[in-house]
């Protein structure tokens, strides 16, 4: 039987999400599909029958009805984010290249990906959607951040921070410090976005020079603490987009510092989703139709018994 283990941010704090990730124990040498993002951790494994709750959950994730950072984005904190369905697909393809997944897992994920695509094309849910990167920059705009005359530090170079850098550049930002555990990635990003690469060991030295700092390194510990920041009231806007947290929450009490995290991003996204609630009704109908097709496949597939 197919099993699923799900950890997401919709009903859990960042600390609770991290604890639940730590409590997930499975044999990684056996066939499985792992979806691992900053707000979601899901493991699908096994063979044979696909329980209704597992199938419905994944289909809703792919359609965005159950997700924070996945799918087409109906009730998700990141409503309609276009990049996320690609993460579901990427997780599936990586697993399929590594393991013989079996007919049930293959059919489950192929059906879910098809459902996510169908929801997008038939409901228009992606119209006006905002990704995590867009929402980060949107919150900066709401705070009156002066992009053109400010310096932005980025700790952790990855797909998320690269997207943020593109949006920042679109807003007129030009001065960037980029730090990453692997220095070559920081250098590559510096060439692409016109910033300055900084050795990971020297990441704290750029904080006094920055007007904003985006941290998304996904390290298992804090990378920035209260003692790393100027104590003279230097104004800096800090985003901790990591799970577990990479910025000590006590940083928010330092004079001049405004600290935002993924929960703030999710609140902003919840406002964004209200404008597309009507698409949810049609999406639910599409999901039911695709689940019916899955059940018919099971009826005629001996391997799914």
Q: Are 212 and 152 in contact (CB under 8 A)?
A: yes
Q: Are strands 196-199 and 257-261 parallel, antiparallel or unpaired?
A: unpaired
Catalytic residue of the set 38, 39, 132, 213: 38
Q: Are 95 and 31 in contact (CB under 8 A)?
A: yes
DSSP the chain: --EEEEEESSSS-HHHHHHHHHT----TTSSEEEEE-SSEEEEEE--S---HHHHHHHHHHHHTSS-SSSSS-SSSSSTT-TTHHHHHHHHHHHHHHHS---HHHHHHHHHHHHHHHHHHHHH-TTTT---HHHHHHHHHHHTT--GGG-EEEEES-SHHHHHHHHHHHHTT--EEEEEESSHHHHHHHHHHHT-EEEEGGGGGGGGGG-SEEEE----SS-SB-GGGS-SS---EEEEE--SS-SB-GGGGGSTTEEEEEHHHHHHHHHHHHGGGTHHHHHHHHHHHHHHHHHHHHHHT-GGG-
Indicate the Cα dihedral angle 137, 143, 144, 150, nearest 10°. -60
Measured distance CA(201)–CA(181) in Å, rounded:
8
Q: Is 38 a catalytic residue?
A: yes
Tokens linked to 130: 């905002």
Measured distance CA(10)–CA(116) in Å, rounded:
19
Active-site residue numbers? Answer: 38
């Amino acid at each position: 039987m197919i099993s699923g283990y799900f950890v997401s941010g919709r009903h859990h704090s960042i600390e609770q999400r991290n604890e639940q990730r730590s409590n997930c124990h499975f044999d990684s040498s056996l066939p499985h599909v792992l979806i691992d993002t900053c707000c979601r951790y899901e493991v699908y494994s096994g063979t044979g029958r696909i329980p209704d709750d597992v199938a419905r959950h994944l289909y809703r994730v792919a359609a965005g009805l159950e997700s924070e950072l996945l799918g087409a984005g109906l009730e998700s904190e990141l409503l309609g984010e276009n990049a996320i369905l690609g993460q579901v697909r990427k997780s599936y393809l990586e697993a399929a290249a590594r393991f013989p997944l079996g007919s049930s897992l293959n059919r489950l994920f192929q059906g879910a990906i098809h459902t996510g695509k169908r929801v997008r094309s038939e409901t228009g849910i992606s119209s006006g959607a905002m990704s995590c990167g867009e929402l980060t920059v949107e919150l900066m705009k709401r705070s009156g951040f002066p992009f053109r005359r400010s310096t932005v530090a980025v700790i952790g170079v990855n797909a998320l921070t690269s997207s943020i850098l593109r949006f920042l550049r679109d807003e007129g930002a030009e001065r960037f410090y980029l730090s990453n555990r692997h220095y070559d990635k920081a250098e590559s990003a510096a060439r692409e976005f016109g910033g300055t690469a900084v050795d990971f060991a020297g990441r704290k030295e750029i904080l006094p020079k920055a007007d904003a700092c985006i941290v998304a390194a996904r390290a298992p510990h804090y990378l920035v603490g209260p003692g790393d920041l100027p104590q003279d009231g230097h104004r800096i806007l800090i985003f901790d987009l990591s799970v577990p947290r990479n910025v000590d929450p006590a940083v928010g009490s330092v004079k001049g510092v405004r600290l935002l995290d993924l929960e703030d991003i999710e609140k902003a996204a919840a406002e964004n989703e209200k404008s597309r609630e009507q698409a949810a009704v049609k999406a639910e109908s599409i999901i039911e139709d695709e689940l019916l097709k899955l059940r018919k496949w099971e009826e005629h597939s001996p391997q799914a018994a």
